[in-house]
Amino acid sequence: MHSVHLGAIDLNLLVAFDALLAERNVTRAARRVGLTQPAMSHALGRLRDILGDPILVRSGSGMLATARAEALEEPIRRALREIDDALRGGPTFDPKVARRTFTLAIGDYGELVVLPPLLARLAREAPGIDLRVLAIPEDYGRLVEDGSFDLVINPIATGLGAGLVQQKLFDERFVCVLRKGHRAAKNLDLASYVALPHALIAPRGRAGGFVDDALAARGLSRRVALTVPHFLVAPLVVAASDLVLTVAERIARTFAAMAPLEILEPPLPLRGFSMWQVWHERRRNDPAHAWLRTVITEVCADAKKVRKAR
């Protein structure tokens, strides 16, 4: 058997082979692929050398394919068809039948705001799509780049590394939360706010924050009586204590529907934040990944519709 090295095969020769087998005629094969007759004759000669087979032989009724050529005809035609499909449109994605697991890095705030509507949407439109949600590491950029994470959903600072793409999902603001019936709920002015014991959510355990910075700019400070690392426990603690919590409005709205809480405007201006999704540039044209990004964008557009705090 003649040994064929793939490196010696020019893709154009396979196109010529397909045309020769389809037409059984050098002139018609040349016309089929837009070559001159001498160029097709040259391609036939190269194919004969590579395969160690005449491919087409003369007969009284024209040219006949050899047994070797007939055995190769359908596999080569199928391979060319698959290459053509891949280059024309790339892979397709049908969420209704697709099975795939996406790995997301999300903090607990993002989990509460994004995951419930996202999972409801997946259940309706893509029942075979699974999510693996992990905490956000400090080196998330490297992990997005190497494929460990498909997406990161987080408040993102500037200065992302090369190749990382970010898209804003929504803006968030802060409100104050007190238990229902709290003496300060009727009039939470700045003096009352500073005098109250505070709960602080510090995911990385660091003291201080945006509230302390805003108070310090006015020559004021507060007493932080409780520091916790998670968003989800703090409102429940406030509902059972005299603490005041300054927290993202969507968190406050969610827990006020489940626990006896009052939501109030902060007595001083506070800078809010934005939520973003981040992915690597190499994922841009992955149709499944693009579909998930679109779905997240749409469910977060719905999350923008929160009532104004009173």
pLDDT tens-digit series, residues 82-102: 888 777 665 678 999 999 999
pLDDT for 303 equals: 62
Q: 80 and 10 in contact (C-beta within 8 Å)?
A: no
Residue 294, both tokens: 């679109």
Question: β-strand 244-248 against 174-179: which pairing, if any?
Answer: antiparallel
Mean predicted confidence (pLDDT) in 36-61: 91
Rounded Cα distance between 133 and 140, Å, is 13
- The span from the CA of 51 to the CA of 48, in Å, is 5
Q: Is 4's pLDDT higher than 70? A: no
The partner residues of 200 in beta bridges, in order of sequence, read 227
Take residue 253 and report the two structure tokens written for it.
């709205």
Structural domains in the chain plus CATH codes: 6-89 (1.10.10.10), 100-171+274-303 (3.40.190.10), 174-264 (3.40.190.10)
* pLDDT at 154 exceeding the cut of 50: yes
| Phi/psi of residue 178, nearest 5 degrees | -130, 160
Which pLDDT belongs to residue 16? 94
Average pLDDT over residues 139-164: 81
pLDDT digits (tens, 9 = 90+) for 191-209: 999 999 999 998 777 777 8
Q: Could you give the percent of the chain with pLDDT greater than 70? A: 92
Of 255, 273, 271, the residue nearest 263 (C-alpha): 255
- CA 38 to CA 44: how far, in whole Å? 10
pTM for this entry = 0.67
**What average pLDDT score do residues 39-61 get?**
90
